[in-house]
Amino acid sequence: MPSLAPTRHARNADVDDATQASQTARALVRLRELIVGGELRAGERLTEQALVDRLDVSRTPVRAALQRLREEGLLEPLPSGGYAVRDYSEADIHDAIELRGMLEGLAARLAAERGVAPAVLADARQCLEQLDALFAAPRLTPAGFATYGELNARFHALLAEMSGSPLLRRELERAATLPFASPNAFVLVDPQGTRGRDRLFVAHDQHRVLLEAIVRREGARAEALAREHARSAQRNLADALADQRKRQRVPGANLIRRLR
């Protein structure tokens, strides 16, 4: 009777696959950081070999990371080969935020219509309670703004989960990968001012009203609230771009095409 134990060759193949997947994830994270952080500038040409040397990984993970960032919209292929870092107009950013709002609106409507698992609902309520505690202080410290960002990202991830649709969750993850479409893209543009705190408090109140509409099974209202919540990022964008000091705090601001 043939042995059912995995062969040495199969075990080695599994190890190689795991190593390559780890290298791909590391290359993707590091390359995205280089682009969003401004070390790789808009229009700069990227080649596989140069990135292999810079990231200290093999060619296959670099190729996979480049393809993924092309899908995310951070890179564009060049006719001569390789890729270039993309830049974005204000219209591009508005469209990206609008797309996220549409998807989150759909997620909210589906959550209201289909109902939400009690455990997920409890997580969302706990997230809002933690935000309540954060705003109980008379002012937000820089650490408080950072905590808000973590909780805000958590709430939006839970909203996607509440939809009950794995497909929609994947599409929301893709939509939020652009630096300017993320729910946290403009959280830290004014970490020292009371205006920044007030803006976040309004967003927090929108979270609470949105969750209430979902619990009450008000699908159309939940969808409208989620879309309006995303549109507040459009106003934050305009505010950030009008102030050079705030603009510098926007992740990926170096990719925004300046009007001449």
What confidence tens digit (pLDDT) does each residue in 150-196 have? 999 999 999 999 999 999 999 998 888 776 788 887 665 555 556 77
Check whether residue 173 and residue 228 sit in a common domain: yes
Check whether residue 79 and residue 95 sit in a common domain: no
d(CA 89, CA 180) in angstroms, rounded, equals 11
d(CA 198, CA 98) in angstroms, rounded, equals 23
Check whether residue 153 and residue 109 sit in a common domain: yes
Check whether residue 80 and residue 96 sit in a common domain: no
- C-alpha count within 13 angstroms, C-beta hemisphere, residue 189: 28
Check whether residue 79 and residue 94 sit in a common domain: no
Check whether residue 192 and residue 94 sit in a common domain: yes
Check whether residue 192 and residue 103 sit in a common domain: yes
For the stretch 57-87, pLDDT in tens is 999 999 999 998 988 888 999 998 889 999 8
Q: Is residue 36 part of a domain?
A: yes
Check whether residue 189 and residue 105 sit in a common domain: yes
- Kindly list the distances between the CA atom of residue 50 and the CA atoms of 69, 87, 95, 140, 213, in Å, as whole numbers in the listed order: 16, 21, 33, 43, 51
Q: What is the CATH number of the domain that holds 175?
A: 1.20.120.530
Q: Is residue 187 part of a domain?
A: yes
Whole-structure pTM value: 0.74
| Local structure of 88: helix, strand or coil | strand
d(CA 208, CA 223) in angstroms, rounded, equals 14
d(CA 236, CA 249) in angstroms, rounded, equals 12
Confidence category of residue 260, pLDDT binned at 50, 70, 90: very low
* DSSP, res 46: E
Check whether residue 145 and residue 231 sit in a common domain: yes
Check whether residue 192 and residue 102 sit in a common domain: yes
One-letter amino acid at 70 equals R
d(CA 247, CA 68) in angstroms, rounded, equals 27
* DSSP, res 164: T
Domains in the chain, number: 2
Q: What is the CATH number of the domain that holds 77?
A: 1.10.10.10
**Considering 56, 85, 114, which residue would you say is the last residue of a domain?**
85
Domain holding 115, by residue range, is 90-255
Q: What is the mean pLDDT of the chain?
A: 85
Check whether residue 98 and residue 160 sit in a common domain: yes
So what's the pLDDT on residue 138?
81
